[in-house]
With several copies, the nearest count.
Chain A
Amino acid sequence: MTNIVRNHSLSNAEVQRYSRQLILSDFGVHAQERLKDSSALIIGCGGLGSPAALYLASSGLGRLGLVDHDEVDMSNLHRQIIHRESTVGKTKVESAQLTCSQINSSLKIDTYNLLLTSENILDIVKHYDVILDCTDNVITRYLINDACVLSHKPLISASVIRFEGQLTVWNYLEKNGPCYRCLYPQAPPAETVSTCSDVGVLGPVCGTLGSLQALEAIKLLTKIGDVLCNRMLLVDGLSMSFRTIKLRHRQPTCAVCGTNPSIVDRPAPPPAGQCTNDQPCRKNVL
């Protein structure tokens, strides 16, 4: 390697391993160092979490947290590329940890094989610099949002269904970005909520959105580029169309990030109680 400045803390092996990132103009050794000193929490080790975890594990990130309460099922494998036939029946966090460690043995990995609740989430989220919402239901999305706002963490959120995906970064304080509740103060009626189990999803749509989540995480942690904040990317895989919409700013009336918030100590359920049918109704755990 030539032209790599010497005033950095990377080992020769790291310089070699990450050389194709280090030589990027706008990146360089100092971005690589920031990545090494950073941590990210991936909530949901499924369709979105798989590519997000694989790319963050590969990138030279220092520490990765993985949260899921589920086990690998055969019907996951068509889209959840971090798992293997041999890990069917194991917990998803264990399966994901195995693959990540095979790719990068230097990465520190924390696993949380549990269902997130308003009781336990703050204690987990606080240990990470950025949070990735890769979950599959409305209730958990409100829960994660509230925890991120209360903990002042940026939240990279993606969702997919059928051939479509959506991506944005919530609670990006540097730009006065909105939170999930600013856009959706009320939860949708239960009968309007579809899940991947209900109506299906195509694997590569997860791959696209999950990769973009990892990209936003790397940009955010290394402070390069323009974070997708105050904007939302809409992806339609069937027509291969991409559209960026402009979102509202942080709302003073927001129940969690507003000027007079009602949610102050710990996450709250969304105002209109409802549950998804992808997993046992979670109203009781909140």
Chain B
Amino acid sequence: MHLTLEFAGGAELLFGKQKTHPVDLPESQTPWTIRTLLVWMRDNLLRERPELFIQGDSVRPGILVLVNDTDWELLDGLNYQLKENDNILFVSTLHGG
């Protein structure tokens, strides 16, 4: 399954400073969800300091997850079933002023 992963607000610093990552997930018996995507990302994209991105089975506090620019809370959160060509954006919250 093809997805576009995007990172903003500094989250990209954990992913080689690259803001956009087109990825192809391998075929799977069970449907891909954000929960399983996070595991895949930890194993395949996130090489250093995973605790700055993932906490337990979710993202760490202070990171918003957007599916096609919509807050994952308006969808099924971790259980959202990914669809072909979805855009998943991870935004780290800024605090400077």
CB pair A276–B95 under 8 Å, yes or no, is yes
Taking a contact as CB atoms under 8 Å apart, the answer to whether A246 and B74 are in contact is yes
A137 at the interface (CB under 8 A from B): yes
Q: Do residues A188 and B61 form an inter-chain contact, with CB atoms below 8 A? A: yes
B74 and chain A: residue at smallest CB distance: A248
- Give the nearest-CB partner of A47 in chain B: B97
Contact call A161/B95, Cβ cutoff below 8 A: yes
Inter-chain contacts of B89 with A (CB < 8 A) = 245
A interface bracket (residues with beta carbon within 8 Å of B): 35 or more
Q: Is B31 an interface residue (CB 8 A)?
A: no
Q: Tell me, in angstroms, the Cα distance from A44 to B96 when the chains sit together.
A: 11
Q: Which of B51, B66, B89, B94 has the most CB atoms of chain A within a 10 A radius of its CB?
A: B94
Contact of A184 among B9, B61, B97 (CB under 8 A): B61
Task: Report whether B70 and A138 are in contact in the complex, using a CB–CB cutoff of 8 Å.
Answer: no
Q: Please report the number of residue pairs spanning A and B whose Cβ atoms sit closer than 8 angstroms.
A: 102
Task: Give the contacting residue for A183; candidates B10, B64, B94, B96; CB below 8 A.
Answer: B64
Among A172-207, those with CB < 8 Å from B are: 183-189, 191-196, 201, 206
Q: In the bound complex, what is the Cα–Cα distance between A46 and B74 (angstroms)?
A: 35
**Max count, chain B CB within 10 A of own CB: residue among A201, A206, A246:** A246
Closest residue to B92 on the A side, CB-wise? A192
B21–chain A nearest beta-carbon distance, Å: 15
17 other A-B residue contacts (CB within 8 Å) besides A184-B61, A188-B61, A191-B52:
A46-B97, A49-B97, A136-B97, A141-B95, A160-B97, A161-B9, A161-B10, A161-B95, A164-B8, A189-B61, A193-B95, A195-B96, A243-B69, A244-B69, A245-B71, A246-B74, A247-B71
Given the complex, which residues of B lie within 8 Å of A244, measured CB to CB?
69
- Whether, in the assembled complex, A236 has its beta carbon less than 8 Å from a beta carbon of chain B, the answer is yes
Within 8 A of A (CB), among B46-80: 51-52, 60-64, 66, 69-71, 73-74
Q: Which residue of the partner chain B has the closest CB to A234?
A: B8
* Residue interface mask A239-251, B partner, CB < 8 A = 1: 1000111111001
Binding site for B on A (CB under 8 A): 44, 46-49, 133-138, 141, 158-162, 164-166, 183-189, 191-196, 201, 206, 234, 236, 239, 243-248, 251, 272, 276
**In the complex, chain A residues whose CB is within 8 Å of the CB of B70:** 245-246
Cβ of B93 within 8 Å of any chain A Cβ, yes or no, is yes
- Given A188-B62, A248-B74 in contact, is the A196-B97 Cβ separation under 8 Å? yes
Establish whether residues A137 and B52, one from each chain, have CB atoms under 8 Å apart when the complex forms. Answer: no
Beta-carbon contact of A159 and B61 below 8 Å? no
Inter-chain CA distance A116–B57, complex, in Å, is 36
Min Cβ gap B37→A in Å is: 18
Q: Please tell me which one of the listed residues A133, A188, A272 contacts residue B93 in the complex, with CB atoms under 8 A apart.
A: A188
> Is B91 located at the chain interface by the 8 A CB criterion?
yes
CA distance A126 to B93 in the complex (A): 27
**Which 5 pairs from chain A and chain B are nearest by CB?**
A188-B62, A186-B61, A159-B94, A248-B73, A136-B97
CA A245 – CA B63 in complex, angstroms? 14
* Listed A/B pairs (28) with beta-carbon separation below 8 Å: A49-B97, A135-B97, A136-B96, A136-B97, A141-B95, A159-B94, A159-B95, A161-B10, A161-B94, A164-B10, A166-B91, A166-B93, A166-B94, A188-B61, A189-B60, A189-B61, A189-B62, A191-B52, A194-B95, A195-B95, A234-B9, A236-B19, A243-B69, A245-B89, A246-B70, A248-B71, A248-B73, A251-B73
